[in-house]
Amino acid sequence: MFRINENYLKLPGSYLFSTVGKKSKAYMDAHPDKKVIKLGIGDVTLPLSPTIIAAIHKATDEMAHKETFKGYAPDLGYEFLRSAISKEYAGRGAEIAIDEIFISDGAKSDSGNIGDIFADDTKIAVCDPVYPVYVDANAMSGRTGDYNPETQRWSSVIYMPCVSENGFAPEIPDEVPDVIYLCFPNNPTGSTITKSELQKWVDYANDNKAVIVYDAAYEAYISEDDVPHSIYECDGALTCAIEMRSFSKNAGFTGTRLGFTVVPKALKAGDVSVNSLWARRHGTKFNGAPYIIQRAGEAVYSPEGQKEISAMVGYYMNNAKIIREGLESAGYTVSGGVNAPYIWLKTPGSMTSWEFFDYLLENANIIGTPGSGFGPSGEGYFRLTAFGTYESTVEAMERIKKL
Ligand SMILES: *Cc1c(COP(=O)(O)O)cnc(C)c1O
């Protein structure tokens, strides 16, 4: 008789976006005359840029001819892409060799899969609120203890609350974790970390033989100088940090899928190289990202590609500025939106996140995301995204100002 992995049964339902969808649909069905503006999604809306599309067309044509056809990609990624990435790191003062870069189909898979190489009883620490993948993936491996629906917390996870009182920055926990998940610029709070603050985490991880899993999916949105684009800008990060990056949010690859993970060779558990473990895992369970999409990724690093993607990021960040300033002038307490496409606002009065969701939907016909959906410390907060159009973003702020 087959048996299932019962850890899956412990997972709480993921109701956030389905509930947002259901409530939004019910409202729109009941009020077909209302123009509802969606600022809830964490997905890009601008199309792929011309240089990237040209690279996709060219690579597609190569696939049509015997001489240039490609079968399986090398499972760690094509060298043309890994060397473009390595050069970009060098430009930031980080020396990352190409065999420390593992091309994948995105940062969600990598941040979910990275746990495969750690011990079963690994203790993880996460920010609260947080991108749900880190905790759920560890829960599936049976590492997180039991889920308490009342506190919305797992018994064996170390939570690091990120709230207005601490500037939405995690504090070093009392109990020493084995693996620390950090994501900056942050989804959902839009907050970020300075290089000297991140250096403290790197030192802490090295001192305590912990590893930091650093999700830098939003690094392209950084606009301030003292914010690190990579954890490897910090001294000593090569011996304690794994970094994930994605082409989704910077270049619009959410539908085409491409990302990568850096595992430095200097990162060791005793005398075991973590890099070779990840190479073994990647080579066993992943057969490579598509050639066509890796060529598209290479085009992102070309001078024209860089120009085009910074224009896209600029478009979204102009929306972020409109939202941030619009909310501030309407009297809201706001953070984020400076180095990230997310604006995190305090719900007015004593409204819960879901009460504010309903209020905003009914009175301004705007859809956002309740902060409590990202973790218990997100209660009383609300996320708006800059991924809408300029016109709808402007209109949304006009409606909010009139409330
Ligand atoms: C969107 C996002 C990702 C990117 O995931 P992909 O699988 O590369 O599309 C990773 N981490 C965070 C925090 C995100 O918000």
Ligand 1 centroid to 244 CA: how many Å?
9
Confidence of residue 42 (pLDDT cuts 50, 70, 90): confident
Q: Please work out whether the CB of residue 106 comes within 6 Å of at least one atom of ligand 1.
A: yes
Confidence of residue 377 (pLDDT cuts 50, 70, 90): very high
Q: Please work out whether the CB of residue 188 comes within 6 Å of at least one atom of ligand 1.
A: no
54-73 as b/e, with b when 16 or more CB fall inside 10 Å? bbbeebeeeeeeeeeeeeeb
> Which amino acid residue places its CA nearest to atom 14 of ligand 1?
217
Cβ burial, residue 295 (10 Å; 0-12/13-18/19+):
buried
- For residue 131, the ligand 1 atom closest to its alpha carbon is 13
Question: What percentage of the chain has pLDDT greater than the value 90?
Answer: 98
Quickly list H helices, 141-245: 195-208
User: What's the rounded Cα separation, in Å, for the pair 143 and 136?
Assistant: 10
What pLDDT is recorded for position 5? Answer: 97
Confidence of residue 14 (pLDDT cuts 50, 70, 90): confident
> Do 49 and 251 meet the contact criterion of CB atoms below 8 Å apart?
yes
Query: What fold, for 52-303?
Result: Aspartate Aminotransferase; domain 2 (3.40.640)
Confidence of residue 161 (pLDDT cuts 50, 70, 90): very high
- For residue 109, the ligand 1 atom closest to its alpha carbon is 7
Ligand 1 centroid to 107 CA: how many Å?
5
Q: What's the full length of the chain, in residues?
A: 403
Place of tokens 């859809």: 367
Q: Please work out whether the CB of residue 365 comes within 6 Å of at least one atom of ligand 1.
A: no
Q: What is the pLDDT of residues 105-152, one digit of tens each?
A: 999 999 999 999 999 999 999 999 999 999 999 999 999 999 999 999
Ligand 1 centroid to 96 CA: how many Å?
22
Superfamily of domain 7-47+306-402: Aspartate Aminotransferase, domain 1 (3.90.1150.10)
Task: Please state whether beta strands 342-346 and 334-336 pair in parallel, antiparallel, or not at all (unpaired).
Answer: antiparallel
Q: What is the pLDDT of residues 171-182, one digit of tens each?
A: 999 999 999 999
User: What's the rounded Cα separation, in Å, for the pair 99 and 38?
Assistant: 42
> Could you state, in order of their start, the residue ranges of all structural domains in the chain?
7-47+306-402, 52-303
Confidence of residue 41 (pLDDT cuts 50, 70, 90): confident
Which residue out of 45, 105, 221, 246 has the highest number of ligand 1 atoms within 8 Å of its CB and is therefore the one to mutate? 246
Q: Please work out whether the CB of residue 187 comes within 6 Å of at least one atom of ligand 1.
A: yes
User: What's the rounded Cα separation, in Å, for the pair 145 and 173?
Assistant: 18
Q: Please work out whether the CB of residue 183 comes within 6 Å of at least one atom of ligand 1.
A: yes
Q: Please work out whether the CB of residue 261 comes within 6 Å of at least one atom of ligand 1.
A: no
User: What's the rounded Cα separation, in Å, for the pair 112 and 33?
Assistant: 42
> Do 357 and 382 meet the contact criterion of CB atoms below 8 Å apart?
yes
Ligand 1 centroid to 246 CA: how many Å?
7
**In whole numbers, what is the pLDDT of the chain averaged over residues?**
97
User: What's the rounded Cα separation, in Å, for the pair 287 and 47?
Assistant: 27
9-18, 154-163, 281-290: least confident range:
9-18
What pLDDT is recorded for position 10? Answer: 95
What pLDDT is recorded for position 13? Answer: 83
> Do 347 and 381 meet the contact criterion of CB atoms below 8 Å apart?
yes
User: What's the rounded Cα separation, in Å, for the pair 309 and 49?
Assistant: 7
Q: What is the pLDDT of residues 321-369, one digit of tens each?
A: 999 999 999 999 999 999 999 999 999 999 999 999 999 999 999 999 9
pLDDT at 75 over 90: no
- In 221-311, at which residue ranges do the beta strands (DSSP E only) sit? 241-246, 259-262, 268-269, 272-273
Q: C-alpha distances in angstroms, 29 versus 35, 300, 326, 354? A: 12, 41, 29, 20
What pLDDT is recorded for position 15? Answer: 78
Q: Looking at residues 229-249, what average pLDDT do you find?
A: 98
Q: What global pTM score does this model have?
A: 0.97
pLDDT at 83 over 90: yes
